[in-house]
Amino acid sequence: MTIKRGEGRRLVPLDALGDHEGRDLTPMDTLSADQIYERRWALTVLEEVLARLSDEYRAVGKAALFDRLKKLLTDEPDRPSQAEIADEFGMTENAVKQAFHRLRQRYRELLHDEIAHTVIAPGDVEDELRHLVCRLLA
């Protein structure tokens, strides 16, 4: 029986083994502190814009529609289809497409306004927007 069980060698608890293996497989963050700061800033700007957009929809009584449409902005696998949203709200699929188009357009306008508050010259907004996108993709 001892041969089958490791010939008297010391047993290693599975928890300790899992902790050690997990440490070796943890990816190292290759971003510099400046890159991490810029990425967090960019995400904060996007979150602020989304919050402002949410407030606008809530003010006109369309909070539930906003909550469903904003999921279309992501590439997540659990995002609803436009047809599902149409069924849920008793709308046509075309009406949902138009509502989503308006949401995206307003999102862009608010993002443009938010970036305009961070630059000195109005002509720098587009450059800063491109830089923001680069921060997120880096």
The total of structural domains in the chain comes to 1
Whether 19 maps to a domain, the answer reads no
Please choose, from the candidates 92, 97, 94, 106, the residue with its C-alpha nearest in 3D space to the C-alpha of residue 60: 106
- In this prediction, residue 28 carries a pLDDT of 52
> What is the domain range of residue 57?
42-137
DSSP string for residues in 88-122: HHT--HHHHHHHHHHHHHHHHHHHHHHHHTT-SSG
Residue 80: phi and psi, rounded to 5, are -75, 155
Give the model confidence (pLDDT) of 52-110 as tens digits: 999 999 999 999 999 999 999 888 888 999 999 999 999 999 999 999 999 999 999 99
- In this prediction, residue 9 carries a pLDDT of 54
**Number of CB atoms found within 10 A of residue 51's CB:** 11
Tokens read off for 56? 């606008």
Provide mean pLDDT across the span 43-54: 94
Whether 17 maps to a domain, the answer reads no
- In this prediction, residue 24 carries a pLDDT of 47
Whether 84 maps to a domain, the answer reads yes
Does the pLDDT value for residue 20 go beyond 50? no
Whether 27 maps to a domain, the answer reads no
Whether 62 maps to a domain, the answer reads yes
Contact between 41 and 33 under an 8 Å Cβ cutoff? The reply is no
Whether 77 maps to a domain, the answer reads yes
